[in-house]
């Protein structure tokens, strides 16, 4: 086994142990649906609050059905729009990469236990046969299950470096909107908060309404030709 592979496995095991520790020490679902409780919990760690926040962002990617919107909002509330976006992005990227490597290392039997059958049926064939640009589009558009996609993409031939770019940039728009919302709420800028929330909700509703149409449109595009 190559040294690089061993290093990835060790890193993955460490991250899994961290996730298990957080789950054991907290009630993740109830914690994440209560904004005040989540903010208070993170702040209680003092100087280590940033590390805890990043870890919690990673956990919410891996554990369903924890809502990521609350933690993204809290990031902006506690750290401001810039640092909140940065910390959230780091956590979401870590969580996405862990899901990717879990899918890749443990294979389809494991993913089948994590991802519900309807999602597998809808996305698995698409991800296996479409090119990187199409997958990137799915990450860019709100309303697509990016956490689920991370596990499924681990089953494809996509390189880890490519997925790293996709999951980082693809999640950025939603992360920025949530961080801005949290910061506006903290500073009492209700007009700005309402505007950002309206934009976010409008985008999400459009994506939800046209979800299947978008997926069908991408399916109809000619797949990339394989190299001889």
Domain parsing of the chain, residue ranges: 3-220
Kindly list the distances between the CA atom of residue 56 and the CA atoms of 8, 63, 139, 162, in Å, as whole numbers in the listed order.
21, 10, 21, 24
Tokens at residue 38, please? 């989540």
Long-range contacts of 217-223 (CB under 8 A, 24+ apart): 218/126, 218/130, 218/134, 218/137, 218/138, 219/126, 219/130, 221/134, 223/129, 223/130, 223/131
CA–CA distance, 176 with 88 (Å, rounded to integer): 9
Q: Determine the pLDDT at residue 227.
A: 44
Output the tens digit of pLDDT for each of the chain's 228 residues: 555 666 666 666 666 666 556 555 555 555 555 677 778 888 888 989 999 999 989 988 887 655 667 788 899 989 999 999 999 999 999 999 999 999 999 898 999 888 888 878 878 777 877 778 888 888 887 767 888 899 999 998 899 999 999 999 988 988 998 899 888 888 888 788 777 767 776 776 666 666 666 666 666 655 544 444
Contact of 70 with 40, CB cutoff 8 Å: no
In 3-state terms, the chain is what percent helix, strand and coil (to 5)?
80, 0, 20
Model pTM score: 0.74
């Amino acid at each position: 086994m190559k040294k690089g592979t061993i290093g990835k496995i060790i890193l993955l095991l460490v991250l899994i142990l961290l996730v298990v520790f957080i789950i054991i020490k907290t009630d993740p679902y109830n914690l994440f649906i209560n904004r005040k409780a989540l903010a208070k919990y993170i702040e209680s760690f003092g100087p280590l609050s940033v590390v805890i926040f990043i870890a919690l962002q990673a956990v919410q990617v891996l554990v369903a059905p924890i809502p990521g919107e609350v933690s993204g909002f809290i990031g902006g509330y506690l750290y401001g729009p810039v640092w909140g976006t940065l910390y959230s992005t780091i956590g979401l990227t870590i969580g996405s990469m862990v899901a990717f490597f879990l899918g890749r290392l443990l294979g389809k039997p494991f993913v089948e236990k994590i991802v519900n059958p309807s999602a597998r049926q809808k996305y698995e064939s698409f991800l296996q046969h479409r090119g990187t640009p199409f997958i990137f589009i799915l990450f860019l558009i709100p309303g697509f299950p990016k956490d689920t996609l991370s596990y499924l993409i681990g089953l494809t031939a996509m390189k880890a470096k490519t997925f790293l770019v996709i999951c980082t940039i693809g999640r950025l728009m939603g992360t920025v909107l949530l961080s801005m919302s949290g910061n506006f709420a903290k500073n009492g800028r209700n007009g700005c908060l309402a505007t950002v929330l309206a934009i976010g909700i409008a985008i999400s509703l459009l994506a939800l309404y046209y979800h299947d149409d978008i997926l069908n449109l991408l399916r109809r595009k000619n797949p990339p030709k394989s190299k001889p």
